[in-house]
Amino acid sequence: MVAWLQQFIVAGHPLTFWIGWAWTISSIVLTTWIILQRKSPVSTLAWIMVLNLLPVVGLLVYAYFGPQRIKRQRLKRWHKRAALMSREDVDALRAERPDVPPWARQHARLIEQASGVPMSSAQSVEVLASGGATLDALLREIAAARGHIHLEYYIFEPDETGTRLLHALVAQARAGLKVRLLVDAIGSPKLLSRRHRQLLNDFRAAGGEFAVFHPARLDRLRPLVNLRTHRKIVVIDGHTGFVGGINVTDDENEHIRPDNAYRDTHLLIRGGAVRWLQYVFLKDWQYAEGAAPAPDEDLLPEQAPGSLPVQIVTSGPDSDTEAIHRAMIDALNMARERVWLATPYFVPTESALTALTNAALRGVQVKLMVPEKSDSHVVTAAARSYFKELQDAGVLVFEYHGRMFHAKTLLVDELYGMVGSANFDNRSFRLNFEVMAVVMDRGFNQRLAEMFEDDLSQCKRVPLDRRAPPWQQLFEAVARLASPLL
């Protein structure tokens, strides 16, 4: 076989001529196409190398993993109504807190310009430090619902946790409430499988509405792996909202897996800021289902302004503004005392890495917490490739041991806190749909600080003289090289 192939090539068979030309033309076309995507130079060069060095395999890899823009319509009516309500909230906040620092106003303006979501308020923000506690709170609020329940999840497993939640939703749907559930196709394949079809049939039969974000179909290569909704949002009656990093799965429920459930963080928000979680959900629902729910004043109800400044930050591949990316970098740049960052996946962009090390270099106490082992060996290796550079700048790096660490929080000085679904990586910043909540309040900041310090008791600080075997150093270097594609 090999001898025949060598003779085939050496003989200058006409087929080799056409294969060569096809390879050349496809390389030129694909390279031009990638350049016109106008992504970051590092990511663009990486994809060009993959496509040209692996002409067939590279094309398949790009089809599954490559970046791509999509366009979505803005729900103008709901956006305008929510914006008017938020202005009233901000006016009330300014009257109550006239000493708001200028940087807070500038930061809020940056988020509004980048994501279209202005500062709002909340009457209360409760920090939920585990999946079991979040499920308990969620079931309690669902039982108390009176009008509608909206849920959007990346992972919704049909296990004990998911089945219990679905049964609660079915009960409320049968009682006449509007219940809508949106899940991501890649994140929730088991729920969508034939084996668990009866669960969804029961949900629909009770009157529940169900939609899938970017279904993966064999007749359509895109989108498959990227362009996912990584958001975790629940809105109940327009007054109560949940947002954070916790999915619906036994893997994150310590009541079921007390020894190895993920350590994660979620928020329960009451008040005006919930209207923006509602807006994000409605926008995603319209995109996935093809039509938004009928106009209903109960979806964005009137409510008294709260005393806590809260701003919802959204980003995704439907926009080039990278609002969450910009917000995190701006928060790092304005730090003067401390930056405590927790993330399960640390694969920073060049600008995010620079902002983090700049903070340490100017004397800010910077602590980074990552898992000792994430659920991706490649991502873990890529994260470790940055440790020396971070430590040389003065960043204190900690690895969480014992169980998977999945919390996504950012704490800056004594006033700023951010919690949500976005990791500190290229995928969350540029490829997936994400949502975060920024809370500018000392009490909230202190609660996050206490949680961070509790988590530190489960961590080991990465030594400055960390040494790894040569093969591991090579693996980490290669993983870092592939970081723009992760």
C-alpha to C-alpha distance for 107 and 92, rounded to whole angstroms: 19
* The pLDDT of residue 140 is above 70: yes
Phi, psi of 256 (to 5 degrees): -95, -40
Task: Say how far residue 333 (Cα) sits from the centre of its chain.
Answer: 22
Per the residue annotation, which of 232, 239, 283, 367 is the catalytic one?
232
Cβ atoms 372, 458 nearer than 8 A: no
Cβ atoms 414, 448 nearer than 8 A: no
pLDDT recorded at residue 393: 97
Every domain of the chain and the residues it spans: 2-65, 76-97+122-306, 323-485
Per the residue annotation, which of 408, 425, 441, 455 is the catalytic one?
408
Cβ atoms 375, 312 nearer than 8 A: no
168 three-state secondary structure: helix
**Nearby residues of 304 by Cβ (< 8 Å), 6 or more positions away:** 123
pTM as predicted: 0.86
Over residues 205-257, the pLDDT tens digits come to: 999 999 999 886 544 444 456 788 999 999 999 999 999 999 999 999 999 99
Cβ atoms 315, 429 nearer than 8 A: yes
**Domains 76-97+122-306 and 323-485 alike in fold:** yes
Is position 190 annotated as part of the catalytic site? Answer: no
Record the tokens describing residue 455, joined without a space.
């988590």
**End-to-end Cα spacing for the chain:** 37
pLDDT recorded at residue 366: 98
Q: Which helix (H) or strand (E) holds 141?
A: helix 131-143
Q: Would you tell me how many other CB atoms lie within 10 Å of the CB of residue 155?
A: 21
Phi, psi of 266 (to 5 degrees): -140, 165
Per the residue annotation, which of 148, 150, 196, 230 is the catalytic one?
230
What's at 383, amino acid-wise? A
Is position 320 annotated as part of the catalytic site? Answer: no
Question: Between residues 46 and 358, which one has the greater pLDDT?
Answer: 358
Is position 460 annotated as part of the catalytic site? Answer: no
Can you say whether the dihedral through the CA atoms of 436, 437, 442, 446 is positive or negative? negative
pLDDT recorded at residue 179: 97
Per the residue annotation, which of 237, 264, 441, 455 is the catalytic one?
237
Q: Which of 16-20, 239-243, 356-360 has the lowest mean pLDDT?
A: 16-20
Record the tokens describing residue 349, joined without a space.
């962009």
* The pLDDT of residue 459 is above 80: yes
Q: What is the radius of gyration, based on Cα positions, of the chain?
A: 24
Architecture field, domain 76-97+122-306: 2-Layer Sandwich (3.30)
Of the candidates 413, 459, 424, 441, the one whose C-alpha atom is nearest the C-alpha of residue 127 is 441
Is position 148 annotated as part of the catalytic site? Answer: no
Per the residue annotation, which of 39, 184, 406, 441 is the catalytic one?
406
pLDDT recorded at residue 20: 64
Whether the bond into 223 is cis, omega within 30 of 0: yes
C-alpha to C-alpha distance for 445 and 461, rounded to whole angstroms: 23
Residue 447 — pLDDT band, cuts 50, 70, 90? very high
Per the residue annotation, which of 159, 250, 330, 413 is the catalytic one?
413
**CATH node for 323-485:** 3.30.870.10
Q: Would you tell me how many other CB atoms lie within 10 Å of the CB of residue 123?
A: 18
Is position 413 annotated as part of the catalytic site? Answer: yes
pLDDT recorded at residue 245: 97
Is position 454 annotated as part of the catalytic site? Answer: no
